[in-house]
Amino acid sequence: MRLLRLVLTRATFYAAAAIFAALFAIPLVWLLFAPFDARANLAVRLPHPFTLANFGKVFANAFAVRALFQNSIIQAGGAMLLVTLLATLAAYALSRSPIRGKDLLSYGLVLFSSIVTGTAAMVPLFLLIYSLGLIDTQLGVILVFTGGLLPAAIFIMRDFVDSIPRSYEESALVAGASAWGMFKDIALPIVRPGMMVVAVWTFVNVWGGFFVPFILLRSPSNMPASVAIYSFYTEGGTPIITLTTAYSLLYTLPVLALYLFVNWRYGFRFFGGIKS
């Protein structure tokens, strides 16, 4: 009787797990098979005939190549460098210097950043970039992403800096280091893991971001891969499934790779802001 119950419980558990696994996996199976299928359509089937020619089509398409290998990298990389640098400096200051009301400042930062979202503020963001003369430029996209991601990045980073004992920096000061030497030799190397997490987080967010480049960019030569994929499957009549799925797969791989890297290197420490 007891054995039967145990078997039933186990069986229920595995059945439930299998159903959930299927629910999450099935919508993506097509995306895994179609890129290798010479005659891919919207249906799921094992690639037949199996081919790598679809990727060849991607590399033959100048627009696609430029969007993925140039524009997306410039925009995600640019925002990544800016956000990581500025968030590290700001979080370090908020943690280690006697700025009055810094906790109130942090709260205000979270408050404002959760109110002023990209979609709610699309008009003023557009007007701001417009008046800076940066419409249809990569720099405009980088600036808007940087502004939008900074508050959460500062928050993540401050959490990290606060968790580091001050005695590291104090012992450097007592050892005779100047303020700058202490920051460069001791503080920066110690907060590097936090910077890596923020950098990866920023890169993934901008890489996957669609709305900001969608409203700020006009010329095809400036579009990142996200907007390119959207135009592939919405414009020009029937979508070219073979090209678009292969392209989507190439575009997704860096995100998965970075996720695996962070998971392996730092463990997947749960923090609310990995994606917003």
Residue closer to other proteins by CB (options 4, 174) is 174
Residue closer to other proteins by CB (options 49, 176) is 176
Identify residues 111-140 at the interface with other proteins (CB under 8 A): 111-128
The yes or no reply on residue 93 touching other proteins (CB under 8 A) is yes
Q: What is the smallest separation between the CB atom of 55 and other proteins, expressed in angstroms?
A: 16
Q: What is the smallest separation between the CB atom of 199 and other proteins, expressed in angstroms?
A: 15
The yes or no reply on residue 90 touching other proteins (CB under 8 A) is yes
Identify residues 234-273 at the interface with other proteins (CB under 8 A): 234, 244-245, 248, 251-252, 255-256, 259, 270, 272
The yes or no reply on residue 63 touching other proteins (CB under 8 A) is no
Strand partners of residue 50: 37
Q: What is the smallest separation between the CB atom of 149 and other proteins, expressed in angstroms?
A: 10
The yes or no reply on residue 74 touching other proteins (CB under 8 A) is no
Residue written as token pair 């299928």? 37
Residue closer to other proteins by CB (options 62, 188) is 188
Residue 196 CA from chain centroid, whole number: 12
- The answer to whether the CB of 145 falls within 8 A of the CB of 212 is yes
Only segment of 47-55, 62-70, 105-113 that touches other proteins (CB under 8 A):
105-113
Q: Using CB under 8 A as the criterion, what x/- string covers residues 6-35 for binding other proteins?
A: -------xx-xx--xx-xxxxxxxxx--x-
Among 64, 80, 109, 152, binds other proteins (CB under 8 A): 109
Half-sphere exposure of 207 (CA within 13 A, CB side): 24
CB-neighbour burial class of residue 126 (10 A; exposed 0-12, middle 13-18, buried 19+): middle
Of 150, 85, 63, the C-alpha closest to 112 is 150
The yes or no reply on residue 110 touching other proteins (CB under 8 A) is yes
Identify residues 165-204 at the interface with other proteins (CB under 8 A): 165-179, 181-183, 185-186, 189-190, 192, 204
With H, G, I as helix, E, B as strand and everything else as coil, classify residue 34: helix
The yes or no reply on residue 210 touching other proteins (CB under 8 A) is yes
Angle of helix 72-96 relative to helix 138-162, nearest 10 degrees, comes to 30
d(CA 182, CA 185): 5
Only segment of 50-58, 59-67, 206-214 that touches other proteins (CB under 8 A):
206-214
Cα 5 to Cα 14, 17, 111, 125: the distances in Å are 14, 18, 51, 60
d(CA 14, CA 214): 43
Residue written as token pair 């908020």? 94
